[in-house]
């Protein structure tokens, strides 16, 4: 199943810099592993915001929930999830 996920990151300003750096390093490794596996298919930065738009390709909503709650930055995110379905007018067969 494909999901459009908007993640708005709000790291507290009073979080110690060393802790922030450690969280960001874990987040990068975790997200890159998911990208390599094909589960996190696309990620785009939203210009002018500390936010991203991503496309996930997972088995079901339970797997997506597990992935999102496993993000090291999860406690500092507002997340909006939208399930996606193939449009009947789509001409590509390789992106479902």
Neighbouring residues of 50: CB distance < 8 A, sequence distance ≥ 6: 8, 9, 10, 11
CB atoms within 10 A of CB 46: 12
Spatial distance between the Cα atoms of 90 and 87, rounded to a whole number of angstroms: 5
- The answer as to whether 21 is a domain residue is yes
- The answer as to whether 96 is a domain residue is no
CATH code for position 66: 3.30.70.1060
**pLDDT confidence bin for 95, thresholds 50/70/90:** low
- The answer as to whether 90 is a domain residue is no
- The answer as to whether 29 is a domain residue is yes
- The answer as to whether 79 is a domain residue is yes
- The answer as to whether 42 is a domain residue is yes
pLDDT of res. 16? 97
- The answer as to whether 92 is a domain residue is no
* Domain region containing 74: 2-84
Measured CA to CA in angstroms, residue 82 lies from 12, 28, 46, 48, 54 at distances of 26, 23, 17, 22, 11
Domain count, the chain: 1
What digits encode the pLDDT tens for the residues 6-59?
999 999 999 999 999 999 999 999 999 999 999 999 999 999 999 999 999 999
- The answer as to whether 93 is a domain residue is no
**pLDDT confidence bin for 71, thresholds 50/70/90:** very high
Spatial distance between the Cα atoms of 93 and 15, rounded to a whole number of angstroms: 46
The structure tokens listed for 89 are 């007018």
The overall pTM is greater than 0.85: yes
């Amino acid at each position: 199943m494909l999901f459009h996920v908007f993640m708005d990151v709000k790291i507290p300003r009073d979080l110690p810099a060393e802790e922030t750096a450690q969280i960001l390093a874990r987040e990068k490794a975790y997200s890159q592993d998911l990208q390599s596996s094909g589960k996190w298919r696309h990620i785009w930065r939203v210009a002018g915001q500390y936010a991203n738009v991503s496309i996930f390709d997972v088995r079901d909503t339970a797997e997506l929930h597990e992935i999102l709650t496993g993000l090291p930055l999860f406690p500092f995110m507002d997340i909006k999830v939208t399930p996606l379905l193939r449009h009947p007018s789509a001409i590509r067969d390789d992106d479902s």
